[in-house]
Amino acid sequence: MAAPAATKEGLRDCRDAWAATIVDLAANDPRIVAVVNDSIGSSKLGGFQKQFPDRLVNVGIAEQCMVGVGAGLANGGKIPFVSAASCFLTGRSLEQVKADIAYAGFNVKLVGQSSGVAYGELGATHHSIEDFAWLRPLTQITVIVPADAWETAEAVKWAAGHEGPVYLRLSRMPVPDLAVENRVFRPGKAETLRAGSDVTLIANGTISHIALAASDLLAAEGINARVLNMATLNPLDEEAVLAAAEETGAIVTAEEASIRGGLGGAVAELTSAHRPVPVERVGFPGFLPTGSVEWLFNEYGLTPEGIATRAKLSLQRSGK
């Protein structure tokens, strides 16, 4: 087992990794195109547009059309990366995502930008906390939630080479790089950020580094937490989750999403069916009040302290 991963200094906006990677890929593969909804700036695709003006399709503010166009471009032999604010990409176009992408099975990469509560003060219409629950039943779509810039770049590269629909759920929230030794991106596999046997913290995206910080707080109290970065939500690494249930007996999930139907939902479904253990789900209960990202994270316990508290609760519930 690798040594516990620490977080490096400095924060990065993962969109920069996305933007640089998609430009590199496009330079080597003429099939790669980008599709947007008046979202060139928020998708950081200005550079792509400059280099490949003919391969950027801006359909205007028309998300249903945008996703359908993605399917059509795939039919025409392209590899479309359809990039828009994740709230509109998934919510507005949900039927297109279901019927035209998942059901029809087109090789389209959906790139959800500014996901979770990145648009804090703009309110519930602009939060994308339901997307996990909406897309999880669409088992044809691989759902990846990168935790840092490195993982974002790797996921974009993997998606380009993978034949099949992918949803990449990105954030504009700056995050630190996770320092994992000899890191390899393995889609569909949980990444162990820290070994531990008392309780398992399972997180993804912007919350993975916070879960890691929570494990430090727990360690200071003599609680040895395992930390898993579950970047792939669909399909879930069932083996890793059941091993966590078996070996640690208590689980906390933490995600920048609704506690219903997302990572917490997936873990609870699986464990309750095969290896029931207490599962504490940290995330959002439903529509959220107005507030900044920082305020919302604090208010709903998406903090090292908040996650550590729920870890102790799950331990208590497990009777260990």
Partner 1 sequence: MTVENDPVTLIREKALWMRRTAFRMVHKAQLGHPGGDFSAIDVMATLYFGVMNYDPSRPDWAERDRFIMSKGHATGALYTALCAAGYYPEDWLETYMQPKSLLNGHPNRNYLPGIETNTGPLGHGFPVALGIAIAGQISGADYRTFVLTGDGEQQEGSNWEAAMTAGHRKLENLTLIIDRNRLQQGQGTEQTAGLDPLDDKYRAFGFHVEMVDGHDVAALLGLLSASPKGRGKPLCIIANTVKGKGVSFMENQASWHHGVPNAEQFAKAMEELV
Contacts with ligand TPP, residue ranges (CB under 6 A): 37-38, 61, 63, 88, 92
Closest CB to ligand TPP: residue number: 38
Residue 291 binds: one of ligand TPP, partner 1, none (C-beta under 5 to 8 A by kind): partner 1
Report whether 66 contacts 34 (CB < 8 A). Answer: no
Angle at 96 between CA 93 and CA 97, to 5 degrees: 85
Distances (CA, A) of 27 to 39, 55, 69, 163: 21, 11, 22, 19
Q: Which of 6, 292, 305, 320 binds partner 1 (CB under 8 A)?
A: 292
Amino acid identity of residue 231, one-letter, is A
- Residue 269 beta carbon to ligand TPP: minimum distance, rounded to whole angstroms: 31
Amino acid identity of residue 154, one-letter, is E
| DSSP 8-state class, residue 91 | I
- Residue 149 beta carbon to partner 1: minimum distance, rounded to whole angstroms: 24
Alpha-carbon distance of 146 to 149, in angstroms, equals: 8
72 forms part of the interface with partner 1 (CB under 8 A) = no
- Residue 34 beta carbon to ligand TPP: minimum distance, rounded to whole angstroms: 16
58 forms part of the interface with partner 1 (CB under 8 A) = yes
The residue with tokens 């309780």 is 199
Q: Which of these segments, 10-18, 191-199, 246-254, 285-293, binds partner 1 (CB under 8 A)?
A: 285-293
121 forms part of the interface with partner 1 (CB under 8 A) = yes
DSSP three-state, residue 109: strand
Q: For residues 188, 194, 200 and 205, what is the CA-based torsion angle, rounded to 10 degrees?
A: -50
Identity of the residue, 81 or 150, whose beta carbon is nearer to partner 1 in the bound complex:
81
Is residue 222 packed enough to be buried (19+ CB in 10 Å), middle (13-18) or exposed (0-12)? Answer: exposed
- Residue 88 beta carbon to partner 1: minimum distance, rounded to whole angstroms: 6
Give the footprint of partner 1 on residues 195-214 (CB under 8 A).
none
Residue 87 binds: one of ligand TPP, partner 1, none (C-beta under 5 to 8 A by kind): partner 1
| DSSP 8-state class, residue 128 | B
Report whether 224 contacts 244 (CB < 8 A). Answer: no
Identity of the residue, 91 or 164, whose beta carbon is nearer to ligand TPP in the bound complex:
91
Q: Which of 41, 77, 161, 222 binds partner 1 (CB under 8 A)?
A: 41
Q: Which residues contact 269 (CB under 8 A, 6 or more apart)?
A: none
Identity of the residue, 66 or 212, whose beta carbon is nearer to partner 1 in the bound complex:
66
Q: Which residues bind partner 1 (CB under 8 A)?
A: 38-42, 58-62, 64-65, 87-88, 91-92, 119, 121-126, 289-292, 295, 299
